[in-house]
Amino acid sequence: MLEGDSAACCGPVRSVTIKDVAREADVSIASVSRVLNGVGRVGQATRSRILDTAERLSYVPHEGARSLITRRTSTIGMILPDLHGEFFSELLRGADGAARARGLHLLVSTSHGSVAEAAAAIRSMRGRVDGLIVMSPQLAPEPLTPPPAVPTILINAHPAEGQAGVTVQNYEGAVAMVRHLAETGARRIAHIAGPQENGDAADRRRGYCDSRPLDLGADFTVAGDFTAASGYAAGLKLGRLDPLPDAVFAANDMMAAGCMEAFADLGLRVPDDIKVGGFDDVPLARFLRPALTTMRIDLAALGAKAFEQLAAAIEAPGGAPRIEQILPELMVRDSCGHRSGRDTTNQNMTKPGRYPE
């Protein structure tokens, strides 16, 4: 046996404890605890000696013991309707980046599109997290009401009075998209709607209905469920109409992508035969061929913004709750007959109107 192997025969190496740090730094355990947990006052020279010793010994705090002292878990709960797809992965990426910057962790759960499951997930996280970020856009008779003892930020959840949150101006974004399609010459503009029980989809459909050109005639809507498969089915239906619609506004990018695939299978050219617009601007949108014109929501920034608002509520509880609104940005790309670029007319988005025949 080699001399260097002796430690390997003696079992696992013992973890460094707070007592070890106190002994090496020649201070009390209480002083080490105050410095490492940021609680109480300790002289600067003693603080520096303790921190240097902890680093030299590679001390890793025990999170369970720390939470008993600070009454914090260093964990944020995040409840989303689903985890599948680029929309939610981008939202998570933003929240996770903001959490890591503060040395915190994310505990993620899903509601599977159910308000009841969202409420159950919230109950399951009580005592395990310092705060909650909840995305629950489902329409329900009663608004989602997280427990008041847990700081909570709602994303697109139609919060009740007194609740804090971050919301996307879906209605105004839909108005801007339909207006843009009409400005490219489209008059027969169809809409692929999202799920009926989804508040985001309802706001986008309402924006479409309030701003579509007068000569469109009857409501020209096909049901979808935010998946590419439902967009493909809708595209087959719309692509077989006679006369063909001039344009399609899909309530999200995944349905727009499925719709464009259906048009290709039917031998229709986008945008020469029919124009297509989406909503969200997931990373896939710019890589479609043709690249998709869409309403951009900076999803990573949305997740980070919700996290920062929650962190502020945790650090300074009792502040006045506020709703922060995010205005989508029109991204003009090839699917509407324009070269790639950023449209700068979204300052007009908040004023819906109809177009003359």
Looking up tokens 């309030």 gives 210
* Per-residue pLDDT tens digits for 25-65: 999 988 888 787 666 678 888 988 988 998 888 877 655 45
Helix (H, G, I), strand (E, B) or coil at 332: strand
Q: According to the model, what pLDDT value does residue 151 have?
A: 85
* Per-residue pLDDT tens digits for 246-292: 999 999 999 999 999 999 999 999 999 999 999 999 999 999 999 99
CB 352 within 8 A of CB 210: yes
Question: Is the model's pLDDT at 69 over the cut of 50?
Answer: no
b/e burial code for range 129-147 (CB count within 10 A of at least 16 → b): bbbbbbbbbbbbeeebebe
Angle at 24 between CA 21 and CA 26, to 5 degrees: 100
Q: According to the model, what pLDDT value does residue 296 have?
A: 95
Q: Quick one: tokens of 352?
A: 């819906």
* Per-residue pLDDT tens digits for 323-352: 888 899 999 999 998 643 444 334 333 333
Give the residue among 155, 114, 128 at the shortest CA–CA distance from 304.
155
